[in-house]
Structure 1
Amino acid sequence: MPQSTNTSSPMRSDTGQYRFAPMRGRPRLHWPGNARMAFWVAPNIEHYELDPPVNPNRSPYARVQPDVLNYGWRDYGNRVGFERMARVMADRGIRGSVSLSVAVIEHFPDIIAQCNDLGWEMFSHGVYNTRYFYGMTEDQQRQVIRDSRESLARVGQTLDGWLTPAITPSLATQDLLAEEGVRYTLDYFHDDQPMPVKVRNGRLISVPYSIEMNDVPMVNWQNASPTAMLDSLKAQFDRLYAEGAGNPNVMCFATHPFLLGQPHRISVLTEFLDYVKSHDQVWYPTAREIADYYYTHHYDRVNTWLASLEESA
């Protein structure tokens, strides 16, 4: 497989880490039980520091720091919203794959214990969601990845997946993840199926995450009502479920306890999960299980197909 072409050149037409892969002619995937869809829920359990170090590229808060208002809003998710969401998911037998600010392990150990008790996966969303990768050297990024692995190991979890804080990776980040043994990335939103990522050493795949079926864009960017959120989620599910009869795919619902865990929004999660569960041909894995199955059953075959596209280009 072609190696990563990351350079320091300021002019690039694309990331160089995946190629165009048309759906027409794409190898057909299969999921356990002949499911049309792998459906997973990604609770983002984060910690925003009250007064984080300044990053010249971006402020984590809308107002001048320290921003007590927005800090308290996010803290609501860990104090109250998480428990409300966890209860809804557990009642329906759906495990979470947690996009975790690993500092939560130190700040909120009760949350971590409950995630483990529920059989949820935890992967890294960096240390704090206020520490962006903008401007980090490769060595600095690598250290965050290693710190994440060590922190997760202390609570009985392995570092298999990754979502860069606030989705701020550099072009080197995916190479570093593969070199550090991370198996899947969520930093790219380019497909409805897992896909191999070109890296300079090792192996890495993208697992479909979602920037649209995600309560932050829905609420904070679009000002969507709970009814509008539910309609969008159902429409996304219906289309993917129908298309999955031809070539099975993945749907992710990315959630944040400080938003979806609010009393007036929790019905979105309740009603949507009930809707999904009313369909027969759905697999309910963790993100780690999607990656494991893909590596075992599809990775080599899809790589061969991708190589054939390179040769015919």
Structure 2
Amino acid sequence: MSSRRDFIKKTGLIGIAGIVQPLNVFASSPKLNGHVHYKKENTKWADGSRLVVSVSMQFEAGGQPVNAESPFPQNMQKGFVDLPGETWYQYGYKEGIPRMLDNWDKLGIKVTSHMVGSAVLKNPALAKEIVERGHEAAAHGMDWTTEYSMPYETEKKFIKDGADAIKKVTGFTPIGYNANWLRRGANTLEILQELGFKYHIDDLSRDEPFLVKVKGKEFAVVPYTIRCNDIVLIEGKNFSADQFIRQVKMEFDQLYQESEKKRRQMSISFHDRIGGTPQMVAATTEIINYIKQHKEISFKRKDEIAQMAYDEKSVIREF
């Protein structure tokens, strides 16, 4: 098997191998995917920011199925309801979202709230308040039903019913979508395009927004995260609040460093019954204030980020 040094000799790069780091030698001539149109490197978005921060606030509590996953052992006997588990979800709309809404106002930022339709119908005043306080209402399905296995028309109705519930209660027309656990199906993007949506977030492949083509038209992707996500870290891995702070700060520091040479997006996600606890709101405050100390960053709702992608000629187009 040829060694890397043999490769360098054969390609005539040995003369510079000693003075240039190996990564730089190859990074200068990437092999382009014929189906991906790479943008020219720009360091700033149109608003002057080089790093845009996107915060999600999931509004799911109240729309969960009976005996949904909770911090309690999943050993309920058939025919009985997990009553303490129900109260864990109730915390999301009784305490969690109200506390987060006050904190967003205190911090002076606007977020995107991914709303489950049945949760909105159960707590309409709270859903309306989210929009009235300047936050984006994005669709998150009608309930927690598995979506990726649905037939086309069934899924279309499922998505539309959830969006219609949001529109009816809040007056806000959702243009963004998030499937349950990001698990969209093969038809989801076509359905979203057909229903008039402008973007989805069920993608972890980049640290900046990009465009794909759906049914012959451009469609925006505003990448999500499971790295800076309270349901994964706090609930799923039992991180403490201070561990969460450190992880998110480390993510920001790296992306901010990269943003000296190219535009970046950072995503942070909070769920009503987790991110709305006192310790996590305190952690959020520390994180946001830390980020705000840096220059050329902006906080934007995901509908705003999607529009930036449509407006920016040099954004990545994966088609």
Structure 2: which amino acid aligns with 1:162? Y
Per the TM alignment, residue 27 of structure 1 is displaced from its structure 2 partner at its CA by 4.1
Q: Does 1:302 pair with 2:302?
A: no
**Equivalent residue number for residue 28 of structure 1:** 42
**Equivalent residue number for residue 205 of structure 1:** 220
Q: Does 1:194 pair with 2:209?
A: yes
**Equivalent residue number for residue 268 of structure 1:** 283
Q: Secondary structure at the match of 1:265?
A: helix
Q: 1:22 to 1:170 in 2, by over 3 A?
A: same
Structure 2: which amino acid aligns with 1:245? E
Question: Given the alignment, which residue of 159, 183, 186 partners 1:171?
Answer: 186
Question: Is the CA contact (8 Å cut-off) linking 1:178 and 1:203 kept in structure 2?
Answer: no
Instruction: Note the 1:174-253 alignment, pairs <5 A.
Output: 174-253=189-268
Question: Is the CA contact (8 Å cut-off) linking 2:60 and 2:116 kept in structure 1?
Answer: yes
**Equivalent residue number for residue 164 of structure 2:** 150
In structure 2, distance between residues paired with 1:172 and 1:19: 24
In structure 2, distance between residues paired with 1:293 and 1:22: 17
Instruction: Note the 1:68-147 alignment, pairs <5 A.
Output: 68-128=83-143, 130-147=144-161
Q: 1:292 to 1:74 in 2, by over 3 A?
A: same
Q: Secondary structure at the match of 1:46?
A: coil
Stretches of structure 1 that go unaligned for 5 or more consecutive residues are 1-17, 308-313
Q: Which moved more, 1:117-126 or 1:171-180?
A: 171-180
Per the TM alignment, residue 26 of structure 1 is displaced from its structure 2 partner at its CA by 5.0
Q: 1:48 to 1:177 in 2, by over 3 A?
A: same
TM-score (norm 2): 0.80
Taking only the aligned residue pairs, the percentage that are identical comes to 22
> What are the Cα deviations for residues 117-143 of structure 1, in whole angstroms up to 9, with x where unaligned?
211000011112x22214211111111
Per the TM alignment, residue 266 of structure 1 is displaced from its structure 2 partner at its CA by 2.0
In structure 1, distance between residues paired with 2:245 and 2:182: 25
Q: 1:21 to 1:66 in 2, by over 3 A?
A: farther
Per the TM alignment, residue 50 of structure 1 is displaced from its structure 2 partner at its CA by 6.2
In structure 2, distance between residues paired with 1:197 and 1:166: 21
Higher alpha-carbon Rg: 2
Question: Is the CA contact (8 Å cut-off) linking 2:61 and 2:272 kept in structure 1?
Answer: no
In structure 2, distance between residues paired with 1:50 and 1:39: 28
TM-score (norm 1): 0.82
In structure 2, distance between residues paired with 1:115 and 1:49: 17
Structure 2: which amino acid aligns with 1:43? M
**Equivalent residue number for residue 56 of structure 2:** 42
Q: 1:139 to 1:234 in 2, by over 3 A?
A: same
Aligned length: 280
Q: Secondary structure at the match of 2:204?
A: coil
Q: 1:144 to 1:214 in 2, by over 3 A?
A: same
Q: 1:141 to 1:112 in 2, by over 3 A?
A: same
